[in-house]
């Protein structure tokens, strides 16, 4: 089928659906990210006429209250049959690989939080403020990037436009919330002296684990390689050198990153601050004389990406050090997914 025919098909489909109501599905509604998606939908007043809350079989039939109304959780088969306009997935890679295509066949736009589709050359990997322009009306499965990648490219994208990135060295310090409810429970159990199930191979409280996701043959973890590959895809530039070390730490508020970036062009530090201060979704906190810099304890529940400790790398030219912090459940997952849905709706790419 030609691109022109596909666009025509979905244009007609969208026009016909204007007489119908908007169906929004949240798949994985009982998880940490799923619950955060509902908060963001409410806060941003994303419009819907019908809300479908979808979860695994063990949760089907349970109720979740949202905006003063009780919603009964439904299963995947039922959700597919009801053909939502948009389905925001946060249910894991295997679930997405199995079910996202089935939703897409029904005309649903799937916005997926897992890593299942991120590196698929036929799927868009989107941070709306950075590369939302790549979205088209025939995109049925859209990938939400890795949380650590999102916050980094939010800061680096405007600098790439101005100075062109040459090399990125990033070390992350990531919250246990990135692993999920069971990881949070492990941390709290350890903190309270309770023996319970473990999701990490070592204690997490009072510790730092240089081990996020599985190790690859090259000695890097899958999380570290995600940051490399996703940065290239989002910024549309595979010439950028990227190397990462990802670390899990016992925090709850969000992910932190130490980023060292080398540019092709010389930069002015004050100009960098001004560029970032003018970037939507980025907040500069960089007043070291008064101990002002980003910290995860203060980013929890916020949608912005915070950057500070901006300083020249004195060991080599055209190189900048910075510290980036964001709530991984918000901009790193739920907020970015809802923003994609908003972007689609505002540009008449859905409904």
With H, G, I as helix, E, B as strand and everything else as coil, classify residue 214. coil
* CA separation for the pair 80, 52 (Å, rounded): 10
Catalytic residue among 160, 232, 255, 264: 255
Spatial contact of 109 and 140, defined as CB atoms under 8 Å apart: yes
DSSP 215: B
Taking every pair of C-alpha atoms in the chain, what is the biggest distance, in angstroms?
A: 62
Under 8 Å between Cβ of 209 and 248? yes
Reduced to 3 states, what is the DSSP secondary structure of residue 78?
Answer: helix
Look up 147 and say whether it is catalytic: yes
Using an 8 Å Cβ cutoff, are 351 and 18 in contact?
yes
Pick the catalytic residue: 21, 133, 147, 232?
A: 147
Q: Which of 65, 66, 319 has its CA nearest to residue 168?
A: 319
Distance (Å, whole) CA 198 – CA 192: 14
Verify whether residue 264 is a known catalytic residue.
Answer: no
Point out the residues that are catalytic. Answer: 147, 255
């Amino acid at each position: 089928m030609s691109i022109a025919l596909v666009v025509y098909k979905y244009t007609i489909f969208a026009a016909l659906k204007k007489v119908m109501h908007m169906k929004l599905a949240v798949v994985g509604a009982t998880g940490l990210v799923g619950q955060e998606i509902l908060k963001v939908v409410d806060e941003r007043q994303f419009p819907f006429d019908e809300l479908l809350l979808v979860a695994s079989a063990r949760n089907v039939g349970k109720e979740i209250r949202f905006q003063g109304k009780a919603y009964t959780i439904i299963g995947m088969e039922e959700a597919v049959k009801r053909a939502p306009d948009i389905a925001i997935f946060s249910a894991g890679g295997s679930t997405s690989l199995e079910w996202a295509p089935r939703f897409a066949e029904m005309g649903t736009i799937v916005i997926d939080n897992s890593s299942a589709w991120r590196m698929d050359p036929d799927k868009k990997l989107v941070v709306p403020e950075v590369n939302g322009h790549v979205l088209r009306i025939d995109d049925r499965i859209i990938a939400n990037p890795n949380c650590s990648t999102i916050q980094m490219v939010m800061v680096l994208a405007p600098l790439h436009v101005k100075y062109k990135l040459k090399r990125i060295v990033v070390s992350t310090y990531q919250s246990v919330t990135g692993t999920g409810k069971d990881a949070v429970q492990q941390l709290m159990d350890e903190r309270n002296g309770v023996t319970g199930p473990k999701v990490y191979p070592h204690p997490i409280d009072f510790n730092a684990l240089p081990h996020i996701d599985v190790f690859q043959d090259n000695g890097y973890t899958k999380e570290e390689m995600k940051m490399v590959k996703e940065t290239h895809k989002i910024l549309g530039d595979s010439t950028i050198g990227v190397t990462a070390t990802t670390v899990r730490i016992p925090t709850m508020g969000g992910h932190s990153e130490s980023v060292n970036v080398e540019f092709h062009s010389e930069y002015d530090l004050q100009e960098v601050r001004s560029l970032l201060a003018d970037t939507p979704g980025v907040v500069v906190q960089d007043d070291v004389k008064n101990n002002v810099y980003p910290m995860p304890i203060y980013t929890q529940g916020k949608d912005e990406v915070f950057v500070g400790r901006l300083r020249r790398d004195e060991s080599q030219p055209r190189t900048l050090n910075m510290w980036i912090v964001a709530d991984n459940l918000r901009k790193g997952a739920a907020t970015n997914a809802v923003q994609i849905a908003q972007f689609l709706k505002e540009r008449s790419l859905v409904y």
